[in-house]
Structure formats: structure tokens, C-alpha cells
Amino acid sequence: MKIKFYTTLQVNVPEIIKDCDVLISEEELFSDIKSIVELWAEQRLLEDGWPVPNVSQTIREYLIDNGSISERKYF
């Protein structure tokens, strides 16, 4: 038997990109965030070890690692 369900997760985009330079278009940024949140949410249902999908710091680290945003350097 398959059961399908839908939910809405809130993601704080300003918190994610705070003190960062966005290196891609806003459309690409939102698409990247949506894709990773959906993937993490689905995978957490199937197995342990996946990040909580709507934690701003985790999403931020993912976007930095993938070159979508970069931390601002203050001197």
C-alpha cells in the first residue's frame, strides 16, 4: 500500500543568506532551496542520517558548499 501526503515547510530565506553574497539569480536560489528541502524531507522519511529539511544553518552550509552563495569577508 502506498500513502501519499503533502505538507508545507517554512524556510527563512533572509536568515539563510544573511551576511552572504548570492552568486546565482534569485530564481535559481529559490529553486535550489526548494529542491534540497524536498529531497531532505523525503529521504528523512525513508532512512536516518538526513538533515532536518528546514533548518536555516544547514541549508546555508549546503548552498555555500555548492557555490550558490558565499560568506562575506569583513576586514
Over residues 1-33, the pLDDT tens digits come to: 888 778 888 999 999 999 999 999 999 999 999
Range of the domain at 46: 13-71
Residue 3 lies in a domain: no
Q: Is residue 23 part of a domain?
A: yes
In a domain, residue 26? The reply is: yes
Give the chain's mean pLDDT.
92
Do the Cβ atoms of 63 and 69 come closer than 8 Å?
yes
Q: Which residues contact 75 (CB under 8 A, 6 or more apart)?
A: none
Is residue 19 situated within a structural domain?
A: yes
- Count: domains in the chain: 1
- For residue 41, is it within any domain? yes
Give me the phi and psi of 21, to 5 degrees please: -100, 130
Whole-model pTM above 0.75?
Answer: yes
